């Protein structure tokens, strides 16, 4: 019997901490010069979280600076983290913009069921399963994110679904309350990572918020293989050095 396939270590700098005045160059340098795997792109709508970033047009603009990945989850993947109240609403726009992985919040998906479908708009009603299917139908991978306040148990029935198209490609466990970069890492969220890893040895598990050289060891020990780091990378004198250091820790604990 062959050993289970251990998920690939992935470093995904969050461009929320990049210099927005030179965003295209920051994105291409982060991948090509500094050696990051993915770009983590935080989309905030001012409703789901108390902050606003940008939408699909900016993703289109930066896509022209970063080559599309040649394989699923490859270098240059646009990992879009949708902190928005109506996650179904933006799927088509993000597909067109060049998003590869559309990661929505569980809390938004269950609440947007009540949002209804105003005349002349697409149907905004959804459930996590339906939304995952919808994202897959739009040729993107699907991620599902949990806020710190949400218990990990809500994931089991979603991950245990026998219908492959309705299962997520990645789980994102937030290690800060979503909304802002540069917050303090919440180690209290790591048991969620461990719980998912124990059940799903090959699933991509992303952690996001407060990750950097001092906190990555704990996240890797808990079983995370996709590390988002914003301020730690973009605030560094040498982002490439930080990325290499993060990767070393992750590779060293791979499978742990």
Ligand X SMILES: O=C(CO)[C@@H](O)[C@H](O)COP(=O)(O)O
What residues line the site for ligand X (CB under 6 A)? 14, 16-17, 40, 42, 81, 176, 178-183, 208-211, 228-232
Closest CB to ligand X among residues 9, 178: 178
Ranges within 203-222 binding Fe ion (CB under 5 A): 208
Q: How far apart are CA 182 and CA 210, in angstroms?
A: 6
Residues 31-50 that bind Fe ion (CB under 5 A): 42
Query: What tokens were used for 70?
Result: 């040649």
For β-strands 101-105 and 10-13, DSSP reports them as unpaired
Candidates 19, 37, 42, 45; catalytic one:
42
76 is in an annotated binding site: no
The 10 Å CB-count burial string (b at 16+, else e) for 220-243 is: bebbbbbbbbbbbbbebeebeebb
Q: How far is the CB of 90 from ligand X (least distance, A)?
A: 16
Task: Please say which residue, 103 or 133, places its beta carbon nearer to Fe ion.
Answer: 103
Strands of the sheet containing 101-105, edge to edge, are 10-13, 226-229, 204-208, 170-174, 141-146, 101-105, 77-83, 38-44
CA distance 62 to 38: 13
Contacts with Fe ion by CB under 5 A: the residue count is 3
Work out whether the CA dihedral 160, 162, 166, 171 comes out positive or negative.
positive
Minimum distance from residue 124 beta carbon to ligand X (Å): 22
Q: Which does 108 bind (CB under 5 to 8 A by kind): Fe ion, ligand X, none?
A: none
Task: Output the six-digit token pair for 252.
Answer: 């060293």
Query: Residues within the annotated binding site?
Result: 14, 40, 42, 81, 179-182, 208, 210, 230-231
Query: Residues within the annotated binding site for substrate?
Result: 14, 81, 179-182, 210, 230-231
Binding residues for Fe ion, rule: CB under 5 A, are: 42, 81, 208
Query: Residues within the annotated binding site for a divalent metal cation?
Result: 40, 42, 81, 208
Catalytically annotated residues? 42, 208
């Amino acid at each position: 019997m062959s050993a289970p396939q251990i998920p690939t270590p992935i470093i995904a700098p969050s461009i929320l901490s990049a210099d927005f005045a030179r965003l295209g160059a920051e994105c291409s340098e982060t991948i090509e010069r500094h050696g990051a795997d993915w770009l983590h792109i935080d989309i905030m709508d001012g409703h789901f979280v108390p902050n606003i970033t940008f939408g699909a047009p900016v993703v289109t603009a930066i896509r022209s600076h970063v080559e599309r990945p040649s394989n699923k989850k490859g270098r240059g993947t646009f990992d879009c983290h949708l902190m928005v109240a109506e996650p179904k609403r933006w799927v088509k726009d993000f597909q067109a913009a060049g998003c590869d992985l559309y990661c929505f919040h569980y809390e938004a998906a269950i609440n947007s069921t009540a949002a209804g479908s105003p005349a002349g708009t697409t149907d905004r009603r959804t459930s996590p399963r339906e939304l995952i299917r919808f994202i897959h139908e739009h040729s993107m991978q699907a991620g599902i994110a949990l806020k710190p306040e949400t218990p990990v148990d809500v994931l089991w029935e979603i991950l245990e679904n026998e219908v492959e198209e309705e299962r997520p490609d990645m789980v994102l466990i937030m290690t800060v309350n979503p909304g802002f970069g540069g917050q303090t890492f919440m180690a209290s969220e790591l048991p969620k990572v461990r719980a998912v890893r124990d059940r799903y040895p090959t699933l991509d598990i992303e952690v996001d918020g407060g990750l950097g050289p001092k906190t990555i060891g704990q996240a890797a020990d808990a079983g995370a293989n996709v590390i988002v780091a914003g301020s730690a990378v973009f605030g560094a004198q040498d982002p490439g050095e930080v990325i290499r250091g993060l990767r070393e820790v992750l590779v060293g604990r791979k499978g742990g």
